[in-house]
Structure 1
Amino acid sequence: MSIFNYLVSKTIMHIPGPIVGFFAKGYIAGEKLDDAVRVGRKLNEQGMVLTLDILGEFIKTKPEAAFFKDQCLEILETIHREKLDGNLSLKPTQMGMLLDEEFAFKNIREIIAKAAELDNFVRIDMEDIECTDKTLEFYRRLRDEFPKNVGVVLQAYLRRTPQDIEDLSDKPMHYRLCKGIYNEPRTAAYKDMDTINRSFIYCLEKMFKHGAYVGIATHDEKLVFESLRLIEKYGLSKDQYEFQMLLGVDPELRQILVDAGHKLRVYLPYGEQWMPYSRRRLKENPNIARHALLQMLRGNG
């Protein structure tokens, strides 16, 4: 890790908000749904598909959860009305999972039922280890009812993930596979990046062996290379997987994959509660701050 990256990762939680906002502005669509529609339309025109996410998690009251549920329903309606090529990602804690599990499940089910009505899809995001069992339980229940309209995220850095893949392999599987970003104890998660990368490819191959559809979520070109190798090994057609990347991160690699004919989905976050997301992403990937600083120095900020 470079000195710059080390300093960013260690200090980002204490840097004033306006500075964080400067570094993160290219990685958030904006504060309003209209902003996400505008950015999403441009991405569609470039041959990319979307997943929209309204920022805000770990809410504290049921009215807050009801608000975010309504926002998710509006996102699905807007995608349909505006004819965007995109779907929805949501966080279970945003729906009240840490307040009342059954209340949260009903909120999420209502959203997925709307997605099914509109012939769309909802990805249930994975959060910290406290939420993993509950999230997978929700996914199991929902895919029984909506097998074509719901998927879940699994994280390669968790030691448990290969067994979770096996446990979920009895029915159709629709995953996003990412490395993982939460600060978990070593007993639960790998800490060495080389080990995490190897786990990513191990989990991806296990998913492919079981016939899962996978959103391969990485900006790491080494992992992209290994993923392409596995896609070739298993003879997958281009409708049996997709790549996924965050808005603003390595657009050149994103375009390379699109130009090669691969489906690529851009994670498109928006909302007034952008600060926690931005701090977490900058901590995970200090190169975001490096790129923004270089743009400023070149006069492109």
Structure 2
Amino acid sequence: MSALNFLISKTIMHVPGPVVSIFAKSYIAGQELSDAVRVTRDFNKQGIMTTIDLLGEFIKTKDQAKYFKERCIEILDTINKEKLDSNLSIKPTQMGLSLDEDFALENIREIVAHAASINNFVRVDMEDTPNTDKTLKLHAELKKEFGKSVGTVLQSYLRRTPSDIDNLDPKDLNIRLCKGIYNEPRELAYKDPYIVNQNFIHCLDKLFAKGAYVGIATHDEKLIFESLRLIEKYNLKREDYEFQMLLGVDEQLRKIIVDGGHRLRVYVPFGKDWLPYSKRRLKENPKIATHALRQMFGIHGHN
């Protein structure tokens, strides 16, 4: 990591919002659903799928949760009406998981039931470790009822993830596997990037062996290389997995994956609560900010 990238990664959480917004534009579709629709339509024309996410998490009241639930149903209806190749990602804490588990389950159940009725899919995202068990529990409940219409996320930086895979019901299993981005204590999460990567491949191997459909969520080409080896090992067909990438990250690699004949889905977030998401992404990938700075000041060169 360059000195500038290191500085950005260490200070970004304290940078004022207006400054972050300069660097965040490539990560966010915009503030309105119409922005996510526009971006999705452009991707679909390139043969790329999306998952749409309304930003906002760790809400404080049940009324806020109800608002987000209604907006998520609106997103699903819009995907259906506009005939987009897209699905929906939701945050459990956005649905009230931190307030009342049963309340959150009912909110998410209503969303997933609606998705199932129009032949779509809901990804229940994984957040920080206080919510890991709760999220896996509600996912297990929903999967019993809705099967292939719902899936969740596992994170390779968590020490517990291989055993979580062992405990998953293999029927209709659809998992997004990512590294993880929340700041967790060392006793719960690996801190060494090499180990996080090794655990990613270990977990992907276990998921494929279990017969899971996996959204391989990474822009790390080392992991994509290892993933392709596992796809070959298990003799998987194109429709048995997909790669997933964030909006605004490594467009060249995105094209390489698609040109290689693989399915690819791009995560398309939108909404007014863009600041916490953007800070986490810039902390994870400070090259975006470095690139923006170079463009602003006319500096040329390579990262």
Fold conserved (TM > 0.5)? yes
Question: Secondary structure of the residue that 2:38 maps to in structure 1?
Answer: helix
Give, in whole Å, the separation in 1 of the partners of 2:45 and 2:170. Answer: 38
Q: Which amino acid aligns with 1:220?
A: D
Amino acid at match of 2:275: M
8 A Cα contact 1:89 1:122, kept in partner:
yes
TM-score by length of 2: 0.97
Mapped contact 1:123–1:153 kept (Cα < 8 A): yes
Secondary structure of residue in 1 paired with 2:208: helix
SS in 1 for 2:123: strand
* SS of equivalent residue, structure 1 residue 97: coil
CA distance in 1 between counterparts of 2:96 and 2:176 reads 22
Which aligned pairs between 1:5-16 and structure 2 lie closer than 5 A? 5-16=5-16
The structural deviation recorded for 1:170 is 4.2
* SS of equivalent residue, structure 1 residue 273: coil
Give 1:172 shift: 2.7
Q: In the alignment, what sits opposite 1:263?
A: 263
Helix, strand or coil at the partner of 2:236: coil
- Alignment correspondent of 1:52: 52
> What amino acid sits opposite 2:51 in the alignment?
T
Where 2:171 maps in the other structure, the secondary structure is: coil
Q: Given that residues 27 and 247 in structure 2 are in contact (C-alpha distance below 8 angstroms), is that contact kept between their aligned partners in structure 1?
A: yes
In 1, Cα distance between the equivalents of 2:223 and 2:294?
A: 26
CA distance in 2, matches of 1:245, 1:266: 5
Contact 2:153 2:175 (C-alpha < 8 Å) held by counterparts: yes
* 1:80-125, Cα deviation, whole Å (9 max, x unpaired): 0001000000000000001011010000000000000010000000
Indicate how the Cα distance of structure 1 residues 86 and 239 shifts in structure 2: closer, same or farther if over 3 A, else same: same
Deviation by residue 1:99-154 (Cα, 9 ceiling, x = unmatched):
01101000000000000001000000000000000000001000001111000000
- What is the letter of the counterpart of residue 208 of structure 2? F
Separation (CA, whole Å) in 1 of partners of 2:298 and 2:111: 44
Counterpart-to-counterpart distance in 1, 2:252 and 2:86: 21
Structure-2 separation of matches of 1:24 and 1:297? 17
One-letter code aligned to 1:252: Q
Number of residues paired by the alignment?
300
Cα deviation, 1:182-234, whole Å, max 9, x if unaligned, reads: 11111101000000000000000010011100000000000000000110111
Tell me the TM-score normalised to structure 1 length.
0.98
Query: Is the CA contact 2:155–2:177 (under 8 Å) kept in the aligned structure 1?
Result: yes
Aligned twin of 1:77: 77
Matched, 1:19 2:41: no
CA–CA distance in structure 2, aligned partners of residues 165 and 47 of structure 1:
31
Q: Residue 171 of structure 1: CA displacement?
A: 2.8
Residue 267 of structure 2: SS of its match in structure 1?
A: strand
* Number of the residue aligned with 1:140: 140
Q: Which residue of 1 aligns with 2:2?
A: 2
2:188 partner SS: coil
- Give me the whole-angstrom Cα distance separating, in 1, the residues matched to 2:154 and 2:170: 16
Amino acid at match of 2:231: I
Structure 1 residues 180 and 77: CA distance shift in structure 2, 3 A: same
State the one-letter code of the partner of 1:31: Q
Q: Deviations over 1:20-41 (max 9, x none)?
A: 0000101100000001101110
What is the aligned partner in structure 1 of residue 253 from structure 2?
253
Structure 1 CA distance, aligned partners of 2:192 and 2:5?
Answer: 16
Supply the distance in 2 between the matched residues of 1:222 and 1:168 (Cα, whole angstroms). Answer: 27
Q: What is the one-letter code of the residue matched to 1:226? A: E
3-state SS in 2 of match to 1:147: helix
Please state whether the residue corresponding to 1:146 is helix, strand or coil: helix
Change (3 A) 1:172 1:148: closer
1:169, 1:210 within 8 Å by CA — same for their partners in 2? no
Counterpart in 2 of 1:233?
Answer: 233
Q: Partner residue of 1:99?
A: 99
Q: Distance in 2 between matches of 1:40 and 1:290?
A: 26
Work out whether 1:222 is the aligned partner of 2:247: no
Cα distance, 1:57 vs structure 2: 0.3
